[in-house]
Structure 1
């Protein structure tokens, strides 16, 4: 355990207001391109280095907690930082709303205008966005495989997850793969981690944490029952997005196969619209989970439009926020247990397999049809992985290339 200023505890900063929290995170929501890892870098620069909202060791501990839990890690860190600075739940909600709003509004607006976006150039642009999805997901699989499956046991867990989701398609197969990965982790992944130090101190009581965790569990267990009993479409939409948000381990891109199972399989959203929206989501700042706003707005059964976007957005973020709020009072003791660490290593390895399967179907099969498509997708992948070009720049380049493709001689 570290001591003194290096103890890892969160030095209690001077409290700010919810208005200050909202203003700072709105700026971050408008400018934070590049995905969750980049977002964590923006937070550190703006809030740890420049504004001194917490110390370096405390920030590292907070990031570790949010990476341990399912949900969008960068949004969970934003919520926790707002909770700390705003001295309570109102500050956390202000941070979450401000960071999420810019990209959610952009994606919902695109969805609402998509019907009038027709013609050969529009089709080419949308096809270019689908090819962006191929490059982005391939980059995610490549990077996650290197960090989350560095040894033979975890490679085995990832391959097992691929087999499981191929033969048991849909959300059930994905839930089984993550659960099975955690169980295999208990057996195969003990002793593969590094020592954990530090502690976290937030204005959340154990009682408040228990209530949040209980609410998460009740919603996860009973929303499917309520959907089956009532047959009410708004409840079904909330259930689908809540379940997807509850099972995302290992990064925002993992939400792709989960949402595909929830909205494309039941034909709420076409595969073409799904991939085009996912490609566009790479071009906007803020969390990738705001892709839910696009899906909620574009889906065919009502509620859709603004109502659908609002339901989907709240539902997909809610489980992650409940989990991080609920775990803050208990995290210090739990994260030191070898069994918890081993289970998470197994679950993260399974996530790599799930995302690898999604890279083929629906991403590859829905976008790559010709030699030119393959060349563009490969170019995007190399721009991201070799030349380290910002994702939004790759989106713009490939969308333009998609628009120009109809003009090329075959």
Structure 2
């Protein structure tokens, strides 16, 4: 129920609400929000805009536009910003992020602990089935993102250029260059059209705090790699790998897959099969897909791993997106009106389609599809997701069972 104090939706008139309330609301969402970032944004709208009336529809649409404009996990950034707004500051945002993130982290850590002890044909079949889930889910993401982010010949060409660059370079440099090149190309060829601009956004974030967040974002993008190179600290290397991955995710949570694969599989920290199995398992849990990082940090080869590695990886992968949205809130009204900024983002988003296409081929397809039955199961999963709109966790259970059955028969 709304209280009398909630009659006004402006941020300047809302009372300070207990952090426990914000945490409990987002814990409920973290336990029940299946289906990926777009579905999460829908759950937030129903619970916080329609039911609890924390803000109006126009304000929510503007917030979603901001989080889709920035790199990072869009649904977690929306939730964090709603916590900042409702809690009148940073602690409210952290309470919201914690509540939304904890359930999936605990589930994936449980899977990581059990995966190490799995053995026998049935268990190996389940793991293979989870790798086929990754094929179906990434194919679905590629299909949807391709339709939405490359609707014209200019952006199709940007995506193809990014695909070629990442395939040939095969490194983190190739991915960074593809995104930067896509943004530059967008400035030249993606100026047509403009995003609708709503009313004014007002958040309890001062400009000094915003500048501090943006400075910290930039410093953490550079300093950990320098310090890791000079000290050889694996903890710093782990932090840097996941921070850079989180800082370069444009276009949705699935784009983190090729970035993380490049950081932890090509370096030998995590075996490719274990990586794909964990990614498949991540589709079965509620909450943000970025919590896959906790699983990877827990099972990574050189210490720190386990709970310490999970905590480092989890904090590092989320931190850049949260710093960026916190630092941008006071400036978003002006930034979202700039046609050049919109054009650059169209080009960058088109480039991530090419990056995801490269990852779909290697390691997702090459790591999972080895026989005709593999292709049949993966294609069936794709049809269930795209055509029949089956919940991802159902597809996870079906393909895990199919993989186990195929290994038992074989």
Query: How many angstroms apart in 2 are the aligned matches of 1:329 and 1:355?
Result: 32
* Match in the other structure for 1:5: none
Q: Point out 4+ residue stretches in structure 1 off by more than 3 angstroms.
A: 8-15
Q: CA deviation at 1:47?
A: 0.4
Deviations 1:4-62 (A, max 9, x none): xxxx9768544421000000000000010000000000000000000000000000000
RMSD: 1.2
Q: Which residue of 2 aligns with 1:370?
A: 371
The residue aligned with 1:330 is: 331
For the 8 Å contact 2:121–2:408, the answer to whether it is kept is no
Q: CA deviation at 1:105?
A: 1.0
TM-score norm. by structure 2 comes to 0.96
Which residue in 1 is equivalent to 2:198? 197
How many corresponding residue pairs?
402
Structure 2 gaps of 5+ residues are 1-8
- What runs of 5+ residues in structure 1 fail to find an aligned partner? 1-7
Q: How many angstroms apart in 2 are the aligned matches of 1:93 and 1:360?
A: 37
Q: Distance in 2 between matches of 1:275 and 1:82?
A: 33
* 8 A Cα contact 1:181 1:346, kept in partner: yes
8 A Cα contact 1:9 1:200, kept in partner: no
Matched, 1:98 2:96: no
Partner residue, 2:36: 35
SS at match of 2:367: coil
**What displacement does 1:314 show?**
0.3
* Inter-partner Cα distance in structure 1 for 2:27 and 2:316: 21
For 2:98, what is the secondary structure of its paired residue? helix
CA distance in structure 1 between the aligned counterparts of 2:14 and 2:318, rounded to whole angstroms: 27
1:227 Cα deviation from its structure 2 partner: 1.4
Aligned to 1:4: none
For residues 330 and 375 of structure 1, do their structure 2 counterparts lie closer, same or farther at Cα, with a shift above 3 Å needed? same
Q: Check the 8 A contact 1:131/1:279 in 2, yes or no.
A: yes
**CA distance in structure 2 between the partners assigned to 1:188 and 1:166 by the alignment:** 23
- Correspondence for 2:4: none
Where do residues 3-22 of structure 1 align in structure 2 (5 Å cutoff)? 12-22=13-23
Partner of 2:167: 166
Secondary structure of 1:21 counterpart: helix
1:190-269 counterparts in 2 under 5 A? 190-269=191-270
Q: In the alignment, which residue of structure 2 is the partner of 1:386?
A: 387
**Superposition deviation, residue 194 in structure 1:** 3.2
Contact in 2 for aligned 1:10/1:58 (Cα 8 Å)? no
Write the distance in 2 (CA, Å) between the matches of 1:93 and 1:157: 37
Rounded to whole Å, the distance in 1 between the matches of 2:75 and 2:171 is 26
Partners of 2:38 and 2:265 lie apart in 1 by: 28
Change (3 A) 1:176 1:12: farther
Q: TM-score, normalised by structure 1?
A: 0.96
Partner SS, residue 49 of structure 1: helix
Query: 2:407 & 2:391 partners in 1: Cα distance?
Result: 26
Tell me, in whole angstroms, the C-alpha distance in 1 between the residues paired with 2:236 and 2:104.
24
| Maintained 8 Å contact 1:134/1:377 | yes
2:58 and 2:198 in contact (8 A); partners too: no
Q: Which runs of structure 2 are paired with 1:233-382 in the superposition (5 Å)?
A: 233-382=234-383
Alpha carbons 1:277, 1:294 under 8 Å: kept: yes
Q: Secondary structure at the match of 2:116?
A: helix
Tell me the distance in 1 between the aligned counterparts of 2:16 and 2:44: 18
Match of 1:111 in 2: 112
